[in-house]
Structure 1
Amino acid sequence: MTFDPTTLRQWWPKPSSPKPIVIFGAGSIVGDAHLPAYRKGGFPVAGIFDPNADKANALADQWGIRAFASEEEALGADGVIFDLATPPAAHAAILSRLPRGSFALIQKPMGSDLNQASEILKVCRERDIKAAVNFQLRFAPMMLALYDAVEKGLLGDVVDFDAWLALATPWGLWPFLKGLPRIEIAMHSIHYLDFIRGLLGNPQGVHAKTIGHPNHDVAQTRTAAILDYGDKVRCVLSVNHDHDFGRKFQACEFRISGTKGAAYIKLGVNLDYPKGEPDELWIRAAGETEWAEVKLEGAWFPDAFVNRMANLQRFASGEDETLVGSVEDAWQTMALVEAAYQSSATPATPIAALPKA
């Protein structure tokens, strides 16, 4: 074997002098991912603010950090990175109050729809805020390694991308989703669409259908989508969150095929959620006859959050020239999401009636 899986990149370089982080929001994602990631990455947390002071104080006590007494106090912190772990509809208003020239991380999605994404982009431009959106799947160790393999030519030219999900997602864990008109693509498959854009660039268009399920009232939990990359690349997503018949035949996986090699990715966190299973990455590199497993050093949660913040911190300090997933780039992911919903709402081409015998 000439391909050495241990040479693939899994971690973003750490900043030499990380800036303290001010967190807006004290929801479950902060305690489950943001704070564990920042502690693991060695990023100092200046404090946390939430309009619900009891939630902020409880989380602050749990992690030994400061709870700001007011939004004004949080906004007054100097030389920090602002982390907006807030609901999509709240992003623009908070950004409009950040100090000019700030650096910020915005929880995905970038607003509830494309109109809100455009407002967020406008605010960031007007206030010179250098912001990234937390589409952190691009930064998961398995995905950094996959990107590295593609960049090194181990797969040749990518010509096929398949996402296949057949699993049981416990939507009841997120009561705030109840009544929302857009769920599956806007809150879940958006991660995959953003990752695919990072791998293949912007598609020419999208064909999609997203629907609910008769066993519950969540707006959408099942999606089928084709991303149009012309006549060379086939890109398909089959997503079913209602395959609730035991673990045996469930799946959450990507298959990426090139002209010379291929890769297989298991996204373990979504299986038996929230317990999850280990992620996996396998590559059959150009010139090889066997598949090789890439031993992963971390998982999507929380390690993608470590890498995501590392890039933002290094961009803020001038150590990185490019802010991956900036608001300018993330807006295009939101545009793809919008196009998918518009496609889903468009009647399909009818089949011509068969001629009568």
Structure 2
Amino acid sequence: MTETRRNSPDFDPASLQQWWPQPSRPRPIAIFGAGSIVGDAHLPAYQKAGFLVAGLYDPDLEKARAMAARFGVEVFSSAEEAAAVEGAIFDLATPPAAHARSLALLPEGAYVLIQKPMGADLNAATEILDLCRRRKLQAAVNFQLRFAPMMLALQDAIRCGYLGDVVDIDAHLALSTPWGLWPFLKGLPRIEIAMHSIHYLDLIRGLLGDPQGIHAKTIGHPNHDVAQTRTSAILDYGDRVRCALSINHDHDFGRTFQASEFRICGTNGAAYVKLGVNLDYPRGEPDELWIFPAGGDGWVEIPLEGTWFPDAFIGRMANLQRFALGEDETLVGAVDDAWRTMALVDAAYQSSAQPATPVRPLPEA
């Protein structure tokens, strides 16, 4: 992607915030789960940030031992042992069906990060919300895309007025996703929106707030048995903002015309974001952020200092750590807010299940 790099006079790409401030005294982290996301993102992120990992637990102890040996951390022999780590931040990198069971083991008032989604459906999310409220758990859901360096910089650019008022958001993905990396997905009735596009719905909520509603259609593909892998959705923000998602995980025809991108347009400027990790996951490609600033006359590439995987996981954990220390006033993606993302996901599935408005037939001659 090439363009002129002339700026508006007051646009300083280097000033855009790409990292969440780090905690002054990080707490130890106790991890529940030893799946691929732990090895691909959680542990690399915590090592990079210098966070202390007290250990990890997984019901499959052999898998836990292999993961622990790879990263040089301890293995807990039981979930109860993991839950007993004093003063810990608890990182539940568990399948949705295991969240409530793990949360019930934690000390009252504990600080905890819950892997997305917040349960298998909205009913499960409501049970988790009620459980966290009853036990006074300070819990956030790991919607970490908001913390990716490219997205932190985008949010900062919007706050600074470089785009004006956001009036248009397009998410376009056409790629080949290796669903076999997550065997726990097999047989689940909700996949694409609940497990993948939920990140984009949460990000959009962070940028625009809650929509009035959603129109969606999500379907599978005849070449495999994953419940859904293709989604089209329109988020209704009234007559001023257009927001649409076009997601196809079955574009398995080589890299040339694959895409993983957002286009965000404002009244005075625009931004383009490439989400590189989705392309050749989990190895991925570099992320990209380009901005056409208000008052400028060309696109400017923002030099990024990190990537969605694993660096967003640093920011996500840093916010929770700082909240536990009283250094952040707001816990981003707290369970109350995350429940609203789950409600949007549920509304999308309800919309998809509804019959479309039929097209009137041709009148008889």
Match status 1:170 vs 2:178: yes
What root-mean-square deviation, in Å, do the aligned CA atoms of Structure 1 and Structure 2 show?
0.9
Aligned length: 357
CA distance in 2, matches of 1:29, 1:171: 13
Indicate the residue corresponding to 1:68 in structure 2. Answer: 76
CA distance in 1, matches of 2:28, 2:275: 31
Indicate the residue corresponding to 1:80 in structure 2. Answer: 88
Indicate the residue corresponding to 1:213 in structure 2. Answer: 221
Contact 2:40–2:282 (CA<8 Å) still a contact in 1? no
Indicate the residue corresponding to 1:40 in structure 2. Answer: 48
Shift of 1:240: 0.7
Instruction: Write the mapping of 1:197-346 to structure 2, written as runs, cut at 5 A.
Output: 197-346=205-354
Q: Which amino acid aligns with 2:55?
A: G
1:211-262 alpha-carbon deviations (Å, 9 max, x no partner): 0111111111110000000000000000111111111111110000000000
Indicate the residue corresponding to 1:13 in structure 2. Answer: 21
Percent sequence identity over matched residues?
75
Shift of 1:51: 1.5
Identify the range of structure 1 (343-352 vs 54-63) with the bigger mean alpha-carbon deviation.
Answer: 54-63
Shift of 1:172: 2.3
Indicate the residue corresponding to 1:150 in structure 2. Answer: 158
Shift of 1:75: 1.5
Instruction: Write the mapping of 1:17-166 to structure 2, written as runs, cut at 5 A.
Output: 17-166=25-174
Q: Which amino acid aligns with 1:204?
A: Q
Q: Name the SS of the counterpart of 1:22 in structure 2.
A: strand
Identify the range of structure 1 (321-330 vs 92-101) with the bigger mean alpha-carbon deviation.
Answer: 92-101
CA distance in 2, matches of 1:32, 1:260: 38
CA distance in 1, matches of 2:42, 2:177: 22
CA distance in 2, matches of 1:319, 1:352: 59
Q: Name the SS of the counterpart of 2:133 in structure 1.
A: helix
CA distance in 1, matches of 2:279, 2:220: 20
1:179-231 alpha-carbon deviations (Å, 9 max, x no partner): 11111101110000000000000000000000011111111111000000000
CA distance in 1, matches of 2:132, 2:229: 32
User: How high is the TM-score relative to the length of structure 2?
Assistant: 0.96
Q: Which amino acid aligns with 2:322?
A: R
Shift of 1:16: 0.3
CA distance in 2, matches of 1:271, 1:47: 31
Q: Name the SS of the counterpart of 1:11 in structure 2.
A: coil
Contact 2:166–2:241 (CA<8 Å) still a contact in 1? yes
Identify the range of structure 1 (168-177 vs 193-202) with the bigger mean alpha-carbon deviation.
Answer: 168-177
Q: Name the SS of the counterpart of 2:349 in structure 1.
A: helix
User: How high is the TM-score relative to the length of structure 1?
Assistant: 0.99
